[in-house]
Structure formats: structure tokens, C-alpha cells
Amino acid sequence: MSKYYKLRVEKVTRETPDTISIQFAQPEGARISYKPGQFTTLLIPMNGEQIRRSYSMSSCPHTDDFIVVTVKRVADGKVSNYLNDTLKPGDLMEVMEPMGNFYIDAHPSKKRHVVLFGAGSGITPLISIAKTVLFAEANSQVSLVYGNRNQNSIIFRKDLEEMEKQYAGRFRVVHILSQPVEAKKSSLLSTFKKVIPGLNQPPAQSVASYTGRLNQSLALKILPTLPEWDSDLTDYFICGPEGMMEEVKHALQIMHVPANRIHRESFVTTAPAERHGTVETENGTSPKKSAQEVTIIYEGSEYKFNVPPDKTILEAALDLNIDLPYSCQSGNCTACRGKCLSGKVHLDEEDGLSEYELKEGYVLTCVGHPVSEDVIIEIG
């Protein structure tokens, strides 16, 4: 059963001109636990409706007593701009319990290299993973390859510099700037010892920076400069725009990195009209033209309703004011996850679920369509 908490905003920190970090106090008498890399969902009342958006925790579950999410403005985005413009200490906000499959389990006995590729707001789960591994695994290395427009848009720039000092020899950041600001225009540039044109190698022990975009060829140049980049004991975590994640994944495939070592988190949700794939019938011949009945078991109640062929199970439920859990509505976050106890469900999007979850019969109602008559899904 998904849990909801009402949290108090303790502090709002402006990280960059278009990004804030929101620090929440842990709820009284309870402690919200989460894994580094996971996200929570904010429930925001706006113009008479409740909007949900997922945000990864940028805090570290091992060292921070509070919970922090970091929100970057998206052009014309409803919630990211609302939060950046209006949120203040003392505000109360409803959040869902943390979830997500993009996380790391740290253990003191581990000795490995964790390589993080991020761009823009994609840093949020990565910094939580970095802080956790550096704190909890004394023998592990962490490398972060981080793409941004320029020096001023680097989220957590200071924290990253401090972490490099604190964990010298175990943590390094390679910055990639697509449009670096020239020295006379930016006082921040002085913190960069050198901005190296794309083809150069970063000098050892410096804040290395490449100009350009984090793409396949740049990733292939950077990977061999990282310690133990070819080790079997390296885990790769990628978070950022879809295009960047694909490019980095291709680079890792070229380097023969096994698929189970590559972890990705997508922040981008698709518009409702783009959400539907082809719904196949059980034998894969033609889409169902009529509505299918489904049964959902949730929080001790049983809901039976019809799902029209052009709707997902979640959309049909929400149309009927059945209050099922959800967040991203695009198959990324797993907030709507349930177990299919009988019948067959087609998923437009499977990436949000692990291979194990798929094998065990888990489905996501926000991208799920019933393709047989006896579908029963238990959520919780």
C-alpha cells in the first residue's frame, strides 16, 4: 500500500538561477527511509486539481537527517516553475513514500568503481548515490561525468568541489560544458583550472572540463581516462535527457559493458496523446475494439470497471474517481505498480519494471491495457 506523508519545508536553497533544493523535515514520530537514487512524488494542489510530479532525493540516506529534492525549471512547466517561484520554509506538502528501481545498495565490504553519467537535473539521484558510496564503501571509487550548459548552470558545483577534496583519490568529476562562459564574463570560471577542448585528455588532479555535448564519442574518450574503467566491478548509472542517455549507453555497449551493469533513470514524461502503444490481443492478432472489464484490489477494496480500448487501466479508474496510486503516468516511476493475479495485460512501456518484476507478473496500470477478460490486479 502506498503511503502518503505531510512534510514541512525547512529550507529552500537556490542552487542555480533556475534550480532550487527543498529540504523537508522528517515527519514527527516516523522516519521516511529511502535508497540512494530513489524518488518521491509531490502532490501539489493547483487550480482546483491535484498534480503529481516525481523528484529524486538529492540527500544521502546515510548522512542526512532530512530529505532534499532538487527542482530545475522546465520551460513552461507547471510545477517546476511554481515550486521555484513560490515555495518557502514552513509550507506543508504532501508526498508519497519513496520508490523506484534506480538505486544502489551500498555495503562496507564492497570494492568497486561507480561511474555516474548525468546532465542538468539528472545529477539529483547521482549525487545521492555518490555521497552514499563514498561514505559507506571506503574501498570504492566514484567518478561523475556531468554535462551542463555553462559554469553557472552546474547544480551542486560547490558540494562537488568539496566532495572532491574530502574524498581525494576516490572521487572525481569530469565537467562537460556545451557553452562555457568566458573568463571575463564569469567569476566562476576561476574555479576551473582549465577548459579543455573536446579532444584533449583531462589533466590529473584538476577539475577537468570538456567543451561540447555528452555524446557517444565524448563518453568513449572519457571512459578510458577513469580509473579501472574496464573492470568487471564497475557499475554505471545514467540520468539526464533521453538522447544523452542513449549515446552513453551506446558508448558503454561498444566498451562491452554488460547490460546488467548499466542503470538508467528517465525524468521525461510523455504527453497523454503519445502514451499509447498498440494494444494487442492475447494471441497478438488485432487490437480489442470493445472495453474490457478489470478487477483491481487496493487497500482492502475491490473495484470492477471497464477499460475502453483507448484508455489505460489507470485512466479508466481515474475517470471513475477511483483513487488509485500514481505519479508520472508514463511508466517510469512504478507508483502505480500492481501484481497481475489473473488474465493478461499489455504494457505500452516496460522499462520501469525490472526483468524480475515482469517475470513475477507485475504491471504498471498507467501504461497497462487488459487484453483478456479475466484481469485481476492487486496493488499494494
Given the rule CB under 6 A, which residues bind ligand FAD?
A: 39, 53-56, 69-72, 74, 76-81, 100, 121, 124, 267-269, 271, 328, 332-333
Using CB under 6 A, count the residues that bind ligand FES.
13
Q: Which does 240 bind (CB under 5 to 8 A by kind): ligand FES, ligand FAD, none?
A: none
CA distances from 151 to 103, 199, 210 (A): 28, 20, 12
Q: Does 327 bind ligand FES (CB under 6 A)?
A: yes
To the nearest whole angstrom, how small is the minimum distance from the Cβ of residue 61 to ligand FAD? Answer: 15
Q: Does 332 bind ligand FES (CB under 6 A)?
A: yes
Q: Which does 71 bind (CB under 5 to 8 A by kind): ligand FAD, ligand FES, none?
A: ligand FAD
Residue in 279, 328, 347, 379 binding ligand FES, rule: CB under 6 A: 328
Q: Which does 53 bind (CB under 5 to 8 A by kind): ligand FAD, ligand FES, none?
A: ligand FAD
Residue in 195, 364, 375, 377 binding ligand FES, rule: CB under 6 A: 364
Going by the DSSP 8-state scheme, the letter that residue 200 receives in this structure is S
Question: What is d(CA 26, CA 262) in angstroms, rounded to the nearest whole number?
Answer: 32
Footprint (CB under 6 A) of ligand FES, residues 344-363: 352
With 0-12 / 13-18 / 19 or more C-beta atoms within 10 angstroms meaning exposed / middle / buried, residue 234 is: buried
Residue in 2, 56, 121, 334 binding ligand FES, rule: CB under 6 A: 334
Question: What is d(CA 18, CA 71) in angstroms, rounded to the nearest whole number?
Answer: 8
Q: Residue 236's beta-bridge partner residues? A: 115, 262
Residue closest to ligand FAD, measured at CB: 77
CB-based contacts of 380, cutoff 8 Å, min separation 6: 1, 2, 297, 298, 299, 338
Query: Are the beta carbons of 55 and 21 closer than 8 angstroms?
Result: no
Q: Which does 326 bind (CB under 5 to 8 A by kind): ligand FAD, ligand FES, none?
A: ligand FES
C-alpha cell at 327: 505519479
Residue in 146, 237, 329, 370 binding ligand FES, rule: CB under 6 A: 329
Residue in 136, 335, 340, 371 binding ligand FES, rule: CB under 6 A: 335
In this chain, which stretch among 143-151, 175-183, 197-205, 331-339 interacts with ligand FES, using CB under 6 A?
331-339
Q: Does 218 bind ligand FES (CB under 6 A)?
A: no
Question: What is d(CA 369, CA 281) in angstroms, rounded to the nearest whole number?
Answer: 10
With 0-12 / 13-18 / 19 or more C-beta atoms within 10 angstroms meaning exposed / middle / buried, residue 130 is: buried
Containing 21, the helix (H) or strand (E) segment is strand 19-24
Interface ranges with ligand FES (CB under 6 A): 326-329, 331-336, 352, 364, 366
